Amino acid sequence: MQISNDQDEIISLHYLIKVICMKTPFYMSQNRAKATSSPRAGSSHGSSETIRKTTFNFQTFNQHLPQHIKHIDPEFLEWFIGFAEGDGSFIVSHKDIERNGTGPVLGAKAQTCKACGSGRVLWTSRSCRPEPAGAAVHVPERLMFFLTQKEVQVLHMIRSTLGFGKVFSHGGQYFRYSVTDKESIDRLIYLFNGNLLLNKTNKRFHDWVQARNILTTEPIRPLQPSKKLQEILLSSAWLSGFIDAEGCFNIVKTSEKRYSLGFRIRCRFILGQLDEKSIFVDLEKLLGGYISARPLVDKSIVDSGPAAKPSGLRALQVRKTRGSFGPGIAPTEPSCVLLACPKGHLFYRYTCTSIKDLNNLKSYLQRYRLKSRKRLACASMYRMLFYIENRKVIPWEGKVLNRILNLCKKVD
């Protein structure tokens, strides 16, 4: 019995020590760390990880990384896709190959015709319909991907992070990130396939992959995106990359006598794109702001009559001074300019000017930061927004007024 009592006392003492230890700050912090590292089903952390996994698929791309690159942050890849959809170019160079009668293309690899199953196939039409003897066929020869920017630092950052491609000077003030070798082109295809969001980019990419499949015996099937824009715009870095490519931050200073200083200052964010209305509709729902649409400006056609309109284009006469987009005046007036764009196509512009909408955008950009020099213009614009919001507390005079005027010159 004595032994049993001793054992009971030892067990009781061990339990008491364990309870005391559980109350210590270190033990409690360890338990909290374990709890956060293994999210429960339905917890907020678990749901955000699920969203991240279903937003973009980088599994195939990660299997084809360069040997010297061990890992690339998925957030950077999301940013790069958005940046490429804004500034990227999918290029296919072609060559002409002569045909011998109605037979196969000379020097071309025979492929199965989708229409009849024979081995005679035209590269362009992918069918074996007869062509006149000696007719030249336009054949894809080489695939290229380009990003052209004035800012060379962001291109070097892309090249060093991805681990492939080249950066070189292009046309004086511009620089170009170039990918031309087959292995790296395939890596880009694995990265972009099924992850592009814009309709026009998907179409160009699809044609790019089809040209690649003609040049190889191991085809890659182009995938369509399986996600809605609204679901991922604010939950990924895609929009940040797209803003780095196409966005504009500016401070507008206009003369207005009704203000005590004789001028009015507004902060403005602009994002424009041809045809892609859906992205701006989703942005308007998520962040606020407003959308405007207009035909593209063809600056080479000014004060022109109807006879000078380009073929296949529709034209609209508008006043230059007011910048209105409605039907306007006769083409003989000196104050009119001809706006021209392909039929059925419009240039859409998303604009944020209100303090509330700009602060909504700020919350997103604080989570997914810009990587180009536009981050400096963004920071200056939000510094100005701070002065506008706190004008009653911080009067616009003396040094403060000088800072405000310098910000206006810096971000124009």
Q: Give a yes or no: residue 46 inside a domain.
A: no
373 with 353, same domain?
yes
pLDDT computed for residue 295 by the predictor: 80
Domain boundary among 214, 249, 277: 214
198 with 285, same domain?
no
**If residue 269 lies in a helix (H) or strand (E), which one and from where to where?**
strand 263-274
80 with 170, same domain?
yes
pLDDT computed for residue 387 by the predictor: 93
Q: Give a yes or no: residue 56 inside a domain.
A: no
Cα dihedral 116, 121, 124, 129 sign: negative
The token duo for 118 is 């024979």
361 with 284, same domain?
yes
Could you tell me if 60 and 190 are in contact, meaning their C-beta atoms sit under 8 angstroms apart? yes
Residue among 102, 125, 126, 391 nearest 266 (CA)? 391
Domain boundary among 214, 247, 278: 214
| Maximum CA extent, the chain | 117
Q: Across the strands, what pairs with 92?
A: 143
Q: Give a yes or no: residue 116 inside a domain.
A: yes
The token duo for 160 is 């060093």
**Each residue's pLDDT expressed in tens, for the chain with a length of 412 residues:** 444 444 444 444 444 344 344 443 333 333 433 333 333 333 333 334 333 444 789 999 999 999 999 999 999 999 999 999 999 999 988 776 655 544 444 444 444 444 434 333 344 433 344 444 445 566 778 899 999 999 999 999 999 999 999 999 988 889 999 999 999 999 999 999 999 999 889 999 999 999 999 888 888 998 887 677 777 889 999 999 999 999 999 999 888 888 888 889 999 999 998 888 888 999 999 999 999 988 865 444 333 334 333 333 333 333 232 333 333 323 333 333 333 445 567 889 999 999 999 999 999 999 999 999 999 999 999 999 999 999 989 999 899 999 999 998 888 6
243 with 280, same domain?
yes
199 with 248, same domain?
no
E strand spans, 99-246 = 136-149, 166-170, 174-179
pLDDT computed for residue 316 by the predictor: 34
Domain boundary among 156, 188, 214: 214
The token duo for 153 is 């630092």
71 with 200, same domain?
yes
Q: What is the DSSP string of 215-254?
A: T-SS--------S-HHHHTTTSSHHHHHHHHHEEEEEEEE
Q: Give a yes or no: residue 54 inside a domain.
A: no
pTM given for the model: 0.71
Where residue 190 sits, what CATH number does that domain have? 3.10.28.10
pLDDT computed for residue 177 by the predictor: 96
Domain of 338?
296-345
- For 277, the 3-state DSSP assignment is helix
Q: Give a yes or no: residue 40 inside a domain.
A: no
Q: Give a yes or no: residue 308 inside a domain.
A: yes
pLDDT computed for residue 301 by the predictor: 37
pLDDT computed for residue 296 by the predictor: 65
3-state helix, strand, coil in the chain (%, to 5): 40, 20, 35
pLDDT computed for residue 94 by the predictor: 79
261 with 136, same domain?
no
How many domains does one find in the chain?
A: 3
203 with 331, same domain?
no
Q: Give a yes or no: residue 37 inside a domain.
A: no
pLDDT computed for residue 136 by the predictor: 56
CB atoms within 10 A of CB 13: 10
Length of the chain counted residue by residue? 412
pLDDT computed for residue 327 by the predictor: 32
255 with 389, same domain?
yes
Q: Give a yes or no: residue 222 inside a domain.
A: no
146 with 210, same domain?
yes
Cβ-based neighbours of 183, under 8 Å, separated by 6 or more: 164
Between CA 379 and CA 396 the distance in angstroms is 20
206 with 154, same domain?
yes
